[in-house]
Amino acid sequence: MNARPAGSEQPLPSPVRPSAGAIDPAAATWPRGGGPPSVEEARALQDLLAPRVRAQPVDVERVGLVAGLDVSYTEGRLVAAAVVLSAETLEVVDAATVATAPRFPYVPGLFAFRELPPLLDAIDRLGTAPDVFVCDGFGLAHPRRFGLACHLGVLLDRPTLGVGKTPFVGRAEPPGQQRGSWSPLVDGDEVVGRALRTRTGVKPVYVSIGHRIDLDSATELVLRTAPNYRIPEPVRHADRLSRDDPGA
């Protein structure tokens, strides 16, 4: 474990940012540098960055570290958590939290502008460099094809994917009851993700790619990291930490 208290003031060199091909996170979420963008600016920024998303296969067998990301809301505060697990053993090897005041309202479709800034800070505080990031929410399965997972992936230029608990855009037939079965999540004439059964007889999760991964690889990784519960372990841990960390 490498968690540092969320209040520490000293920015440490990040093993994740910057990286070649990455975008300046500040410019890509807070375009005017100071205050948050307007809703119109935020949407325009998504349209501007969406073309950078790339789908590509990932050798899931060789993924070593998987990060789970989540944010909780408490008493007007927002707590972002990043937890890193060994893909092999699913044991937690690193974690970090950050508590901040919300600086952007909850607007469906503009999630990233609310949750990404604190999540990026939490990621910066990690002492490890995850191979893949699993977000609580969506990636391509988004009105402008640029959900939180895509946004994070493009900013970091790293593989990311999103796992949602309820559908946002698109429609999917109920997948078979058996764990592992899935059905395409279709929006208009595009396949934007999958409804995936991670537990037999339990309602499916909705998987979509973020960046630098494809749907097959994302599906495989989600199944691999969710052997016992509906929600993948990395996200489960991040969810718990974001709510329980007293230091946050």
Partner DNA sequence: GCGACAG
Partner DNA sequence: ATCTTGTCGC
Among 43, 125, 142, 145, which residue interacts with DNA (rule: CB under 7 A)?
142
Rule CB under 7 A: say whether 74 interacts with DNA.
yes
> Does the protein bind DNA through residue 83 (CB under 7 A)?
no
Q: Does 108 bind DNA (CB under 7 A)?
A: yes
Considering only residues 168, 182, 197, 204, which one is a binding residue for DNA as defined by CB under 7 A? 168
For residue 104, state whether it binds DNA (rule: CB under 7 A).
Answer: no
Q: Whole-number minimum distance, CB 68 to DNA, in Å?
A: 12
Of the candidate residues 104, 111, 133, 182, the single one contacting DNA (CB under 7 A) = 111
Q: How near is the Cβ of 69 to DNA at its closest, in Å?
A: 10
Of residues 117, 137, 153, 232, which one binds DNA by CB under 7 A? 137
Residue 13 as a binder of DNA (CB under 7 A): the answer is no
Which one of 34, 76, 89, 166 is in contact with DNA (CB under 7 A)? 166
Own/partner pairs for 145-149, CB < 8 Å, 24+ apart?
145/50, 145/53, 145/192, 146/46, 146/47, 146/49, 146/50, 146/53, 147/111, 147/112, 147/208, 147/210, 148/111, 148/112, 148/115, 148/116, 148/210, 149/208, 149/209, 149/210, 149/211
- 233 counts as binding DNA under rule CB under 7 A: no
| Span from 30-38, 130-138, 189-197, 213-221 in contact with DNA (CB under 7 A) | 130-138
Binding residues for Mg(2+): 70, 136
Q: Total binding residues for DNA by CB under 7 A?
A: 25
Annotation: binding site: 70, 136
From the list 17-25, 50-58, 119-127, 142-150, the region that binds DNA by CB under 7 A is: 142-150
By CB under 7 A, tell whether 73 contacts DNA: yes
Which one, 93 or 136, has the nearer CB to DNA?
136
- Minimum CB separation of residue 166 from DNA in Å reads 4
Q: What is the binding site for DNA (CB under 7 A)?
A: 70-74, 106, 108-112, 136-138, 142, 147-149, 162, 164-168, 243
